[in-house]
């Protein structure tokens, strides 16, 4: 059972916000591991907005505009000060405001401590009709933060969502991917949705006008003092798991190249030897 549950959000609260949890991640083509510490080397490594979170943000903006519910789209992220760059991109894409959770006490958080920090911030933000996030981050691939955040907030969660089909009254209908194909699921709101990027999705490239407008939008930085509670509830201290080692496995097998007509015969012979 998850520890330190946060007071549940009430479905009777007046809904006024769509909160999108985003993360700035290292560019997967540039990830390097420190051989001594086993941790990611972030210095000098390009960072990007997690693609699944970017899709979640676009879906939130679509919900706001398509259903005309006048909700405020808030981009929320936990990370170092440089994560503000990802939030500025969110503002340029169309988010109304952004909040960065940044404090040394948040460092070293596992998925549970990350979810706890996000949930505390969501609770502080006030009534929200929906919380959206990517189904996983490229640098962790756990797909745990979304469902854990929903559990801490006492909200229903719909995972692997590709599209919101309807948002009527106190109910939302989502199309999601499953092992058997696609499903249509209904849920009361407030609810948390984790998003899968569709094959037809094309990331929006903000123009100069949008980038300039983003500078005028609100971006706040919240620390431990703003969220409240003890240091023992956050970051490494509040984590329920520990990473003992991270490494890049050695490549032990070498490739073989076959060329020309003779190469075809050699390939067939080699395959017969394997089979």
Tens of pLDDT along 166-218? 888 789 999 998 888 899 999 999 999 999 988 888 888 888 888 888 888 88
In this predicted model, what pLDDT tens digit does every residue of 204-261 receive, in sequence order? 888 888 888 888 888 999 999 999 999 999 998 999 988 777 666 777 777 788 888 8
Helix axes 208-216, 84-93, angle to 10 degrees: 120
In three-state secondary structure terms, 162 is strand
pLDDT at 266: 87
Pairing of strands 191-195, 130-134: parallel
pTM, rounded to two decimals: 0.80
Q: Is pLDDT at 50 greater than 80 in this prediction?
A: yes
For residues 250 and 241, give the distance between their C-alpha atoms in angstroms, rounded to a whole number.
26
Rounded Cα distance between 9 and 12, Å, is 9
Q: What's the sign of the alpha-carbon dihedral 105, 109, 113, 118?
A: positive
Q: Which residues pair with 188 in a beta bridge?
A: 171
Domains located in the chain, CATH noted: 17-274 (3.40.50.620)
Rg (CA), the chain: 22
Cite the DSSP H helix spans in the chain.
51-66, 84-93, 111-125, 145-153, 208-216, 224-227, 235-238, 260-274
Say what the pLDDT of residue 13 is. Answer: 39
Q: What percent of the chain has pLDDT over 70?
A: 85
The answer to whether the CB of 22 falls within 8 A of the CB of 138 is no
**Residue 209 CB contacts under 8 Å (≥ 6 apart), including other chains:** none
């Amino acid at each position: 059972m998850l520890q330190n549950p946060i007071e549940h959000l009430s479905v009777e609260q007046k809904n006024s916000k769509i909160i999108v949890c985003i993360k700035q991640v290292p560019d997967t083509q540039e990830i390097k591991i420190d051989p001594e510490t086993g941790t990611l080397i972030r210095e000098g490594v390009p960072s990007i907005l997690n693609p699944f979170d970017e899709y979640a943000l676009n879906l939130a903006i679509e919900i706001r505009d398509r259903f005309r519910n006048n909700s405020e789209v808030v981009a929320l992220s936990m990370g170092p000060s440089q994560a503000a760059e990802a939030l500025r991109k969110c503002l340029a894409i169309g988010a109304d405001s952004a909040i960065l959770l940044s404090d040394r006490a948040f460092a070293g958080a596992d998925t549970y401590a990350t979810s706890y920090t996000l949930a505390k911030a969501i609770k502080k933000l006030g009534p929200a009709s929906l919380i959206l996030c990517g189904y996983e981050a490229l640098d962790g691939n756990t797909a745990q933060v979304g469902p854990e955040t929903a559990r801490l907030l006492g909200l229903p969660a719909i995972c692997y969502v590709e599209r919101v089909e309807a948002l009527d009254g106190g109910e939302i209908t989502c199309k999601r991917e499953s092992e058997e194909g696609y499903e249509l699921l209904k849920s009361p709101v407030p609810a948390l949705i984790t998003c899968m990027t569709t094959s037809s999705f094309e990331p929006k490239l903000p123009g100069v006008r949008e980038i300039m407008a983003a500078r005028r939008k609100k971006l706040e930085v919240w620390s431990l003092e703003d969220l409240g509670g003890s240091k023992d509830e956050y970051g490494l201290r509040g984590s329920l798991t520990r990473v003992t080692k991270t490494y890049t496995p050695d490549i032990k097998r070498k490739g073989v190249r076959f060329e020309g007509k003779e190469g075809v015969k050699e390939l067939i012979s080699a395959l017969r030897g394997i089979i």
